[in-house]
């Protein structure tokens, strides 16, 4: 089954990179490019206020521009800390990890590896090691963009008179576990919001 979550493209990309063959680099490049596009579409798709046309665009630059118009957070990682209402004890943490400017630029440059080569590069040519280094960095950046589970910053829905924040299960987490963490409809929660340059290490 060919799954299409950004994490699925990420998994296929690392499998190709680990094969360590010339042709596998091109397959990895394709998966990474699609992974970036899919992540941006997921963030846009979670917002009711964005038109369907803008959600389904395939050009990374346009998708990122549409997203930045809604989320004015730039390249910052947004941390949502759930606190106990009485004691302010930390109960849980959730993160929005954006497709940052670096990853967006790499997604645009990766087109160099998913089109027919204009010049032959023999084995041992420095071009191959440079291509691998580029794709490995791109993989790391996309991996970070997929670590967060919040699909965008909370937005006010004026029609429903509510604040909406969509959260997806983490990798290997089931939906029931997620519901227990985020709370049920109508529950009152206290959240602290912080803007970070880097994703904190797991405790």
Q: What is the pLDDT of residue 157?
A: 66
Q: What is the pLDDT of residue 24?
A: 96
Strand, coil or helix: 195: strand
Q: What is the pLDDT of residue 183?
A: 65
Count the neighbouring beta carbons within 10 Å of the beta carbon of residue 97: 20
Q: What is the pLDDT of residue 6?
A: 96
Q: Residue 124 and residue 42: Cα distance in Å, rounded? A: 39
Q: Residue 104 and residue 119: Cα distance in Å, rounded? A: 26
Rounded to 10 deg, the angle between the 6-19 and 22-45 helix axes is 170
**pLDDT means over runs of 10, the chain (203 residues):** 94 97 96 96 82 73 85 89 86 92 96 88 94 97 95 72 77 75 68 92 73
Q: What is the pLDDT of residue 81?
A: 92
pTM above 0.85, yes or no: yes
Helix or strand (DSSP H, E) at 130: helix 126-145
Strand, coil or helix: 180: helix
Which sequence spans correspond to the domains of the chain?
Answer: 6-196
* Dihedral angle of Cα 8, 12, 14, 15, to the nearest 10 degrees: 140
Residue pair 98/76 in contact (Cβ under 8 Å)? The answer is: yes
């Amino acid at each position: 089954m060919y799954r299409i979550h950004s994490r699925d493209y990420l998994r296929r990309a690392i499998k190709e990179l680990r094969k360590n063959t010339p042709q596998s680099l091109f397959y990895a490049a394709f998966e990474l490019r699609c992974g970036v596009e899919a992540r941006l579409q997921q963030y846009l798709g979670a917002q009711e206020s964005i038109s369907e046309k803008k959600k389904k665009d395939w050009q990374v630059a346009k998708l990122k521009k549409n997203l930045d118009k809604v989320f004015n957070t730039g390249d910052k990682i947004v941390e949502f800390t759930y606190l106990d209402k009485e004691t302010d004890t930390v109960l849980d943490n959730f993160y929005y990890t954006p497709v940052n400017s670096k990853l967006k630029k790499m997604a645009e440059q990766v087109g160099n590896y998913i089109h027919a080569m204009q010049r032959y590069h023999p084995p041992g040519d420095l071009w191959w090691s440079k291509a691998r280094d580029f794709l490995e960095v791109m993989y790391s950046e996309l991996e970070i963009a997929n670590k967060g589970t919040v699909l965008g910053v909370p937005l006010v829905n004026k029609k429903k008179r509510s604040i909406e924040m969509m959260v997806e299960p983490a990798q290997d987490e089931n939906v029931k576990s997620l519901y227990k963490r985020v709370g049920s409809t109508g529950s009152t929660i206290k959240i602290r919001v912080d803007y970070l340059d880097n994703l904190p290490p797991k405790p």
